[in-house]
Amino acid sequence: MKNVLITLVLFLGVIIICSISVNYLNTISNDIYIENTSLKKYVETENWDKATSKSKEMSKHWHIYSNRCSVFVNHTLIDDLSLEEHKLDAYIQTKDKDEALASCDSIEFLMERIKKLETINLQNLF
Amino acid sequence: MIRTMILYTLVVLIMRLMGKRQIGELQPFELVITIMISDLASLPMQDTRIPLIHGVIPIITLLFLEIIISVLQLKSETARLIISGKPSILINKGKIDIDIMRAQRLNLNDLIQEIRLKGYYNLEDIEFAILETNGQLSIIPKTELSNATKKDLNIKCAQDSIPITLILDGQVNHKNLKLLDRDNKWLISTLNSKNINSPKEVFIALADSQGKFYMQTYEESSKNNRRKI
């Protein structure tokens, strides 16, 4: 009976951890999406000063998020997004509008991919 | 290295929680779970890109399933029948049941080999052979060929009990002494009667299955070893 109780407690712990991680992923993906959208607008209007500061701010946030995410997200996915983040920073520095916009789209796609991996759907189940 | 330590500790804990059945004879569902757990634990152990939690969550989920299945088996006969199946009688009243042998995809050589491993050499000595759900073969020999017991021979004897360790590696087990309704004084006086001054000189001392005091000192142990060398 003791074993059954410990197992139930462990399983409940797993469910709690899973729901916390999914919640956290939803929150940070929304944050990144909002920041990325405003950054995209600055790049489109070629407002490079604001784009630079926004990109730095987003990098800082992503650095914090990625450290926490690495506990429950495959590190390869996090590395892909960090790499794109670095590329975007470099494109903004060189004022390369086309590449910067492409990078913004990549970041959006990668963040969405991380989020989608945790949702319950047929693609993830099979 | 730290990952390996964490996962090893977790898997040991999980196997303990699954109970003693998991380390003895495995039922089909237990075998599946054991194989899956070993694979799940080794993946994050060797690939640092995979978070530990990706190994831990499925392992705990499997533990949960295993416990649920074993509780179900405990409570319901139907569940037991579905999950573990039922034993198959391969030899019934001295006759091999060919249909059951076919259903179990067991050939005659396998059966004879298993029977030999159980210590029987003639098929005609066996009244019943049962293939248990864990894959083991149980054999009931013909009554006239089975071993005679003390009861058959009308020999009177006292019931054996569990041997209780009193001193192990020089350390007195006070809990076991209490179980025997004895105290430290009794132990010391028993040791003194055998010319031993302290329990520290004793390698092992126990009350055997007949309740008799048995002991071996370090000196005796080392002498014995030297003789063997």
Sketch the domain layout of chain A as residue ranges.
Answer: 21-118
User: In chain B, how many domains are there?
Assistant: 3
Dig out the tokens for B50 from the structure: 């995979």
Q: Spell out, as residue ranges, where chain B has pLDDT lower than 70.
A: 20-25, 223-229
Q: What is the ipTM of this complex?
A: 0.81
Closest chain A C-alpha to B94 CA, distance in angstroms: 42
Dig out the tokens for A85 from the structure: 């983040």
Write the residue in A3, A17, A21 that is nearest to B67 by C-beta.
A3
The pLDDT tens digits for A29-53 are 889 899 999 999 998 888 888 889 9
Residue B151 maps to a domain: no
The pLDDT tens digits for B24-46 are 567 777 788 888 888 888 888 88
Write the residue in A13, A14, A74 that is nearest to B50 by C-beta.
A74
pTM of the predicted model as reported, rounded to 2 decimal places: 0.71
Residue B99 maps to a domain: yes
Instruction: Rounding to the nearest 10 degrees, give the CA dihedral for residues A26, A31, A32, A35.
Output: 160
The answer on pLDDT for A55 being more than 60 is yes
Residue B152 maps to a domain: no
B75 lies in the same domain as B102: no
Check residue B47 and give its pLDDT. Answer: 83
B67 lies in the same domain as B96: no
B190 lies in the same domain as B208: yes
Q: What is the CATH number of the domain that holds B125?
A: 3.30.240.20
Structural domain span for residue B202: 164-228
Tell which of B54, B82, B110 closes a domain: B82
Can you name the residues that pair with B130 across neighbouring β-strands?
B89, B138
Can you name the residues that pair with B167 across neighbouring β-strands?
B172, B205
CATH classification for the domain delimited by A21-118, as one of 1.20.120.1760, 3.90.960.10, 1.20.120.290, 3.30.450.20: 1.20.120.290
Residue B16 maps to a domain: yes
Check residue B25 and give its pLDDT. Answer: 66
Mutation site, A4, A12, A14, interface B, largest B CB count within 10 A: A14
